[in-house]
């Protein structure tokens, strides 16, 4: 389902906006006709008139007066009309958002979007930042529920950006920040980025605890449970679902109880206890139907069909699965459509009707592939955009550091001028300046090395080639490989950026980074390279400290100078062993073509690329070794067979530990 996105482009198409306004107008005319035939309690009218007379500006003030009636669409429409007639725009925005939320909960997403969009227009006219942020978050939820991931992310990020721009936010804006964080977490959850999603939910949960918002705590615990379930951590998932259920019991939320119990039952099915799951699902199906949330009803039918199928109650299972699938199709719930087709395929296979089983299986795969491809392509494009942004940010930081160096030079010159008239002071100044120059030279050299190291690690060719390789998986419908390598790529970029700010890291962290690097590079070698890491059992890789990001240049050399031109079996072995006199030895061995043959190939090329990564690494090792009693040492050995034919290269790094 596609809706117009306010913040996606600077200017909204005129005719699209005009069409949206006419649809909204027709919708409200019909609703007003329905409203005229229903009685509004006199006490409620008095409350509304009193509220409009006072015209409070914040969500909490309005909600305090209308909390009991906010789920009643008839009363909310009355409040919206009266507010619009009296030009009380904050009240109008509040009422329209509540009606939109109600329609969203019964899966009428088109109506919900129109209402939230009109609420956003009212908030903008009122210049009410709080209601503008609230409306943006509500629209984001509608898009997320219909799997329009990019649009949902745009609205959540815009809401978060506006909320965080406020220096002294009100309680309402603080709650909106939590909603935005939760929304972004749910988007990561939809994309399969479960660790990133958990980070967002936990951040939101901290803020909800500070506000004492038990509903927010219930929602975030539920979402974290869903992440753990997807990761296969079923015990952790159950604990999170039960925590969420306890909060929902405290606030007496029927909908929260139904959602939590459905999730708990789903975990029981995965653990093999379908009987226990049925005992939970059958009573909550009745409760869900009373709530009229089609998404939840559809999912409970599907889970109940799944559990009954496991209990060999095929007739009942088929009935529930068909009901869940039909409802998912009717209200456009993509994830439930895919799941319903999957379980019906399995059911007909168990019943021996393989023709129907194949038909449902194809439907499930087709629908799942469409969703996955759309999500992953959008995510890859977002990754490229974010990389460009991070690159610009890094360039600004480099300029800032150069300015700092220039300031230090100016201070030195000023100091020299001040003491030039006095001989004794001049001598002291000379020693001071010489010492300062020596220190500045070392600091500048270290800074230059670190910047050069970061540039070599964040090589644009490597990054864009990696993204293009991942995109090829997506184009070839290899979605599991795409998501797998995309997770590894994002983790590698994050680790490189984190490590670049540290002078030293543990050997364990360094090995994890190079394994990620090799996994990504191996895509371009069609996964032909056999990469092994061998660690001596007497070495504690967590305790050994080394300069950050020193192994990657040697692995890159082995790949592109040793193995890229080699035919047949290809391998790289990274071995960590104990050396003598407090040293750790790290060797990188490849079975490539050797340095002599590689140099001849390079001489024959028109474009000769000089590899500076190893030279930078050697300088960094020399600089780092000043803090140790011993010094770092690097050996590069050419390997030959008995006939003196090249059979690879071996690099040995001697790392001091004392």
pLDDT for position 9: 33
Positions of the chain with pLDDT lower than 70, given as ranges: 1-38, 369-403, 420-421, 429, 433-465, 604-613, 620, 623-630, 658
pLDDT for position 465: 67
* Cα atoms in the 13 Å half-sphere on the side-chain side of 21: 7
Instruction: Say if CB 145 and CB 295 are below 8 A apart.
Output: yes
Q: How many Å apart are CA 188 and CA 24, to the nearest integer?
A: 32
Instruction: Say if CB 618 and CB 634 are below 8 A apart.
Output: yes
pLDDT for position 446: 52
- At 259 the three-state DSSP class reads helix
Sheet-wide strand order for 633-640: 529-535, 570-578, 583-590, 646-656, 633-640
Instruction: Say if CB 646 and CB 599 are below 8 A apart.
Output: no
pLDDT for position 387: 40
**Domains contained in the chain, CATH given:** 11-127 (no CATH), 368-501 (no CATH), 505-510+528-656 (3.30.565.10)
Buried b (16+ CB within 10 A) or exposed e, 502-538: eeebbbebbbbbbbbbbbbbbbeeeeebebeeebeee
Q: How many Å apart are CA 228 and CA 222, to the nearest integer?
A: 10
pLDDT for position 265: 95
pLDDT for position 397: 61
- At 86 the three-state DSSP class reads coil
Segment 247-303, tens digit of pLDDT = 999 999 999 999 999 999 999 999 999 999 999 999 999 999 988 888 899 999 999
pLDDT for position 384: 38
- Compute the CA torsion angle 402, 491, 575, 623 (nearest 10 deg): 10
Instruction: Say if CB 449 and CB 623 are below 8 A apart.
Output: yes
pLDDT for position 159: 87
pLDDT for position 47: 92
Segment 22-63, tens digit of pLDDT = 444 444 444 444 444 468 899 999 999 999 999 999 988 998
């Amino acid at each position: 389902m596609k809706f117009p996105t306010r913040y996606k482009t600077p200017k909204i198409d005129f005719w699209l906006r005009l069409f949206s306004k006419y649809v909204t107008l027709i919708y409200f005319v019909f609703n007003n006709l329905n409203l005229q035939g229903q009685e509004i309690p006199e006490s409620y009218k008095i409350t509304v008139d009193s509220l409009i007379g006072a015209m409070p500006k914040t969500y909490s003030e309005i909600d305090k007066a209308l909390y009991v009636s906010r789920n009643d669409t008839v009363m909310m429409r009355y409040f919206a009309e009266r507010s619009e007639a009296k030009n009380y725009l904050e009240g109008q925005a509040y009422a329209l958002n509540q009606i939109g939320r109600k329609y969203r909960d019964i899966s009428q997403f088109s109506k919900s979007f129109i209402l939230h969009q009109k609420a956003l227009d009212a908030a903008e006219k009122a210049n009410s930042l709080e209601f503008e942020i609230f409306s943006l978050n509500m629209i984001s939820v509608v898009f997320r529920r219909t799997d329009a991931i990019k649009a949902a992310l745009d609205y959540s990020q815009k809401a978060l950006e506006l909320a965080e721009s406020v220096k002294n936010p009100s309680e309402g804006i603080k709650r909106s920040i939590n909603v935005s964080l939760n929304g972004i977490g749910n988007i990561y959850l939809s994309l399969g980025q479960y660790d990133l999603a958990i980070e967002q939910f936990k951040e939101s949960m901290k803020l909800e605890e500070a506000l004492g918002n038990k509903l927010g705590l219930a929602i975030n615990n539920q979402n974290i449970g869903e992440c753990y379930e997807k990761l296969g951590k079923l015990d952790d998932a159950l604990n999170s679902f039960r925590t969420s259920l306890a909060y929902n019991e405290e606030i007496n939320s029927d909908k929260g109880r139904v959602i939590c119990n459905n999730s708990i039952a789903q975990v029981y099915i995965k653990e093999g206890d379908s009987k226990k799951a049925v005992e939970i699902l059958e009573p909550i199906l009745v409760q869900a139907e009373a709530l009229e949330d089609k998404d939840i009803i559809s999912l409970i039918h599907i889970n109940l069909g799944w559990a009954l199928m496991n209990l060999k109650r095929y007739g009942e299972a088929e009935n529930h699965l068909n009901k869940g699938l039909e409802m998912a199709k009717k209200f456009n719930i993509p994830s439930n459509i895919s799941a319903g087709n999957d379980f019906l395929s399995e059911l007909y296979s168990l019943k021996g009707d393989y023709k129907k089983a194949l038909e449902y299986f194809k439907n499930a795969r087709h629908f799942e592939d469409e969703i996955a491809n759309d999500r992953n392509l959008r995510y890859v494009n977002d990754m490229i955009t974010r990389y460009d942004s991070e690159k610009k940010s890094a360039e600004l930081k480099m300029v800032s550091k150069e300015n700092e160096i220039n300031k230090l030079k100016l201070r030195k010159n000023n100091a020299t001028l001040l003491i030039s008239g006095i001989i004794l002071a001049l001598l002291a100044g000379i020693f001071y300046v010489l010492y300062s120059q020596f220190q500045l030279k070392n600091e500048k050299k270290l800074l230059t090395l670190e910047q050069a190291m970061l540039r070599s690690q964040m090589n644009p060719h490597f990054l864009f080639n990696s993204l293009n390789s991942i995109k090829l998986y997506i184009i070839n419908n290899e979605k599991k490989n795409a998501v797998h390598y995309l997770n590894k790529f994002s983790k590698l970029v994050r680790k490189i950026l984190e490590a670049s700010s540290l002078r030293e890291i543990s050997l364990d962290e360094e090995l994890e980074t190079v394994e990620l690097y090799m996994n990504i590079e191996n895509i371009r070698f069609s996964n032909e390279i056999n990469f092994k890491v061998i660690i001596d059992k007497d070495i504690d890789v967590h305790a050994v400290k080394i300069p950050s990001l020193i192994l990657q240049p040697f692995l890159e050399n082995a790949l592109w100078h040793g193995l890229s031109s080699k035919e047949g079996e290809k391998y790289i072995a990274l071995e960590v062993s104990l050396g003598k006199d407090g040293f750790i030895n790290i060797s990188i061995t490849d079975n490539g073509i050797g340095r002599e043959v590689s140099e001849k190939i390079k001489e024959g090329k028109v474009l000769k690329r000089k590899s500076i990564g190893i030279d930078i690494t050697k300088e960094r090792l020399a600089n780092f070794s000043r803090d140790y009693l011993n010094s770092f040492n690097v050996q590069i050995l050419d390997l030959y067979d008995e006939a003196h034919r090249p059979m690879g290269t071996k690099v040995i790094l001697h790392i001091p530990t004392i």
